Amino acid sequence: MNVTRATFDEVMVPNYNPANMVPVRGEGSRVWDQEGNEYIDFAGGIAVNVLGHCHPALVGALTEQGNKLWHLSNVFTNEPALRLAKKLTVATFAERVYFANSGAESNEAALKLARRYALEKFGEDKNEIIAFNQGFHGRTFFTVTVGGQAAYSDGFGPKPGAVLHCDYNDLEAFEKLISEKTCAVMMEPLQGEGGIISPDADFVKGVRELCDKHNALLIFDEVQSGVGRTGQLYAYMGLNVTPDILTTAKSLGGGFPIGAMLTTAEIAAHLKAGTHGSTYGGNPLACAVAEAALDVVNTPEVLSGVVERENLFRELLGEINDKYNVFSEVRGKGLLLGAALNQDYAGRARDFLVAATNEKLMCLVAGANVVRFAPSLIITEEEIRDGMARFERAVANVVNA
């Protein structure tokens, strides 16, 4: 059957507006479309393709497991899930793991666990959740309500209650909001969708201390910042603050759908048998691929290489800005970077994305004012320089249009 971009408009729900080209093959940080055009991938499937496309370790793990066992219900466990959970607990603060299919599902589980924990330990009045404006935690109705962007949650009827918001990096406002009614605080240790906003060290430390003071659980949403993205395995490791619950997805599977919620044994005990579940959570195929991805990423050479690549990205973006003066700053950490547009180009991030695609470069936006880059952690220097040359042509096209 011959399919094209036009087929999308004929058969798909119109909640996406994909590019005109249709990718068909990828290798490393290069992608080819139906016409045979080659693209450099600075998007990584929105911080998902942590090792690029078709990494041999991931292909090998999927092939091997695909010839063994595809799926079981959670009436049974399986070896890949147990190995992956063990490696996650060894590598992090966590003692217990719950597997899901996505970041949203992982966050849904975290929020339900926090509510259940508070109910059983402190009573039904301790049910408020605090999150931060411009935060993003997924698209289920609970998680999108907790996320601090009303545009994503408005228009679907009454929202889940007892969810409060304040500005990120505003410790004073947060201190006024938190109380003995607060059961949990959910935050990204580096805001992604909201504009690639890094946290102040004192802010994160203050949030942790206030959570402790009010017996509230601190949930770190590391769906986008986790699995090596910032140069540490998880971003909390570079902040010297440990959460009570951590969620991870995206890069965890290197492109295969999987998510996980990590927590302590004491907190996990409140998610007793039957209180939550997932048909595909802990799927053997997903866990086998994720184990392979974790084994590759969680090495000194890959994690230190993230910092080296960040420096090259910043250097080349600086050179582009010296010529065209379009960015006010480059934000973020590691290989989750955002080029924030200055006042002259405010609101035009998508123009730069479209121009980049036309120059055979795949990148992202983070809101209307930030061009976002989240490539493979092992993208080569040659690919970075090639991609940035294409991005410079895109910038020139926007500036000169």
Across residues 370-387, what is the average pLDDT? 98
220, 229, 295, 190: which is closest to 49 by C-alpha?
229
* Backbone phi, psi, residue 37, to 5°: -75, 140
According to CATH, the topology of domain 57-297 is Aspartate Aminotransferase; domain 2 (3.40.640)
Beta bridge pairs of residue 332: 337
pLDDT value, residue 401: 86
| C-alpha to C-alpha distance for 236 and 225, rounded to whole angstroms | 9
Across residues 115-120, what is the average pLDDT? 97
- Residue corresponding to tokens 């010297």: 240
145, 200, 143: which is closest to 168 by C-alpha?
200
pLDDT value, residue 367: 92
Across residues 16-43, what is the average pLDDT? 96
- Mean pLDDT, rounded, of the chain: 96
pLDDT value, residue 148: 87
What's the predicted TM-score (pTM) here? 0.96
Give residue-wise pLDDT tens across range 84-99: 999 999 999 999 999 9
Which range (192-196, 278-282, 325-329) has the least confidence?
A: 192-196
pLDDT value, residue 355: 97
Q: Is 221 a catalytic residue?
A: yes
Which of 42, 136, 352, 373 does the annotation list as catalytic? 136
| C-alpha to C-alpha distance for 208 and 218, rounded to whole angstroms | 7
Q: 193, 136 in Cβ contact below 8 A?
A: yes
Percentage with pLDDT > 90 across the chain: 95
Q: Residues annotated in the binding site, as ranges?
A: 103-104, 136, 139, 221-224, 278-279
Q: Where are the domains of the chain?
A: 5-54+300-400, 57-297
Across residues 197-214, what is the average pLDDT? 96
CATH superfamily of 5-54+300-400: Aspartate Aminotransferase, domain 1 (3.90.1150.10)
Q: Is 220 a catalytic residue?
A: no
Does residue 80 carry a pLDDT above 90? yes
Spell out a b/e string for 386-395, using b for 16 or more CB atoms within 10 Å of the CB, else e.
Answer: bbbebbbebb
Q: 94, 246 in Cβ contact below 8 A?
A: yes
pLDDT value, residue 194: 86
pLDDT value, residue 193: 85
Which of 41, 221, 313, 360 does the annotation list as catalytic? 221
Q: Is 121 a catalytic residue?
A: no
Q: 60, 49 in Cβ contact below 8 A?
A: no
Give residue-wise pLDDT tens across range 313-368: 999 999 999 999 999 999 999 999 999 999 999 999 999 999 999 999 999 999 99
Which of 41, 203, 250, 256 does the annotation list as catalytic? 250
* Backbone phi, psi, residue 25, to 5°: -155, 145
| C-alpha to C-alpha distance for 224 and 222, rounded to whole angstroms | 5
Residue 187 confidence class, pLDDT cut points 50, 70, 90: very high
Q: Residues annotated in the binding site for pyridoxal 5'-phosphate, as ranges?
A: 103-104, 136, 221-224, 279
Across residues 17-32, what is the average pLDDT? 96
Residue 227 confidence class, pLDDT cut points 50, 70, 90: very high
Across residues 370-399, what is the average pLDDT? 98
Strands 361-362 and 327-333: unpaired
Q: Residues annotated in the binding site for N(2)-acetyl-L-ornithine, as ranges?
A: 139, 278
Across residues 206-213, what is the average pLDDT? 98
pLDDT value, residue 2: 93
